[in-house]
Chain A
């Protein structure tokens, strides 16, 4: 057993529709992301990046293959766990292109919702959330609502939310798409720091080549399969 294993995928398959309408999106993807690694996932639009992330995140069911999250095998031609949502709330942090905060909750409530659903006492969850907000430099916004914050501040709240349940895995789908170049770099640096400091395996979908130098590895989807590259060379961003 590889204790360094963060995410492992073997011969993963995914298609949508059947017969005439069938579209194969992922057809035999295999790769491993180690704990502490920040891996960029690049591919043209519609290539299946989000679909791949959602399968790893136990949201979308694959059509075949195997998935390990850490040491736990969660998929083997079928889910091995009944409650995939419990895997998500215990092991995974999600970050999306937009913050998608809950508008009727304030900043700190948005962050503590998931830990509290996990059974963490409110006080403890609040303390952890304040720590994260301080780390992300928006501690003074804790009681505000998302509508009072800028786009960049909102995205940082979303990052804090993804970190609040101490995830082993972070799945970030174009987290910097809505941010300017400077902010984008700082968000990626932050993800890299989290990966390294906390041994989290991070996959980050991106179209932004300025952030690639901060990533440990780069994955591409080529011919519905995943190609892992250790260097920036011959990576083409579309």
Chain B
């Protein structure tokens, strides 16, 4: 039997391809949207994954440094070590900073402060693309490549000059800010010490200087034979601190910070998807209407419905598949051009493929119904 779909598509090939490419771009944007969402999740949890802690100890009654201000004394890391279940522990700071460029422009970053000589290093060496990690207690900084700073460049922060000793890639905070790494001592100074002028002012007014031995969280790993939950419960009971397992900390991040954004992106994705499906349905409807006279002639001379429906379904499926392929191509072509991290997952693409296939089938039913309802005598009318 002659393949009517192939003949019809060949007859209006350029139109068909342009249509598929157009729908494909829409599907490409859907994939990018999903990729932005995946990127947020991956960004949001990459720092926590790099730190690799089992337990997070934070200020009592707070959700920790990623949700609100959390302060505790640096000494607590030693107190913690006396516990049976704790293996390693380390104090860390987390804060937003403005890094001044030579040209006066500022870049907002999220700074992680850690002890370069400690056992738990939040800077994953795999992410270093130039230079090295921190080696000294003072005046070194490791920056994300996207901050625009060059290796060896000097950055004034607080009362000191810092030198860029390392450059990393794909290091972003859950809020989307680029990460920089400082030594714990430097970070404490920047977070808890005010400027000379402010200190003089405070002294004159009788306010005592701030204790700079504060930190934002203590991270720890648990020994074999202990579970994070059990150790966390112990700390909570005796030490009056907020304690989270790594999973709970991730949950706070994804729950508090990412959920809202993902809802927004989810809404966009759903709307775009609905628009794409409606457009596919409209295209199929139009393609059927354009051929309605030929369909009526075929019905009149006696061609069975199944041949006509097969033509419509095959054309729709081909359109859906072509549009999907174009969409994947388009997404891969443009995703690196987005300022935020876009992560394209093949499982998302497969899901979209299934949705498009189902939508195309439904759309073709729409067209098939139109064809079945067509009056054969309308072929010879007029």
Contact = CB atoms under 8 A, between A and B. Distances in A.
Interface of A: 50, 54, 59-60, 85-90, 92, 94, 96-97, 100, 102-105, 109, 112-114, 116-117, 122, 161-162, 165, 173
B1 A117 contact: yes
B11 A113 contact: no
Most buried by A among B293, B303, B305: B303
A50 B380 contact: yes
Contacts of A96: 379-380
A114 B12 CA distance: 23
Interface stretch (B2-10, B123-131, B171-179, B360-368): B2-10
A90 B10 CA distance: 29
Given A100-B297, A100-B379, A173-B380, A113 B10 contact: no
For the complex of A and B, the 7 pairs showing the least CB-CB separation, nearest first, are A89-B302, A88-B302, A104-B11, A104-B8, A100-B297, A104-B7, A116-B1
Given A100-B379, A105-B7, A94 B300 contact: yes
A114 B303 contact: yes
Contact of A103 (B1, B294, B301): B294
Contacts of B305: 85
B307 interface: yes
Contacts of B7: 104-105, 109
Contacts of B10: 104
A117 B297 contact: no
A165 B301 CA distance: 10
B294 A114 contact: no
A85 B2 contact: no
A117 B297 CA distance: 14
Interface in B258-303: 293-294, 297-303
Most buried by B among A100, A103, A104, A162: A104
Contacts of A165: 302
Contacts of B336: none
A73 B333 CA distance: 66
A44 to B, nearest CB: 18
Nearest to A83: B304
B228 interface: no
Most buried by B among A85, A97, A162, A165: A85
B303 A117 contact: yes
A35 B2 CA distance: 32
B234 interface: no
A227 to B, nearest CB: 25
B376 A117 contact: no
Nearest to A101: B297
Most buried by B among A59, A92, A109: A59
B195 interface: no
B8 A109 contact: no
Contacts of B1: 116-117, 122
B69 interface: no
A104 B293 CA distance: 12
8 contacts: A89-B304, A94-B301, A100-B297, A102-B294, A103-B294, A117-B1, A117-B302, A161-B301
A101 B294 CA distance: 8
B15 to A, nearest CB: 12
A89 B12 contact: no
A85 B302 contact: yes
B78 interface: no
Contacts of B302: 85-90, 92, 114, 117, 165
A192 to B, nearest CB: 22
A88 B11 contact: no
Most buried by A among B10, B301, B379: B301
A86 B305 CA distance: 11
B49 interface: no
Contacts of B12: 104
B377 interface: yes
A59 B377 contact: yes
Contact of A59 (B293, B294, B300): B300
Given A59-B300, A113-B303, A100 B2 contact: no
Contacts of B298: 102, 113
A66 B303 CA distance: 25
Contacts of B303: 85, 89, 113-114, 117
Given A54-B377, A59-B376, A102 B304 contact: no
Nearest to A51: B377
A109 B11 contact: no
Given A103-B11, A104-B12, A105-B7, A116 B301 contact: no
B377 A114 contact: no
A109 B8 CA distance: 12
A180 to B, nearest CB: 22
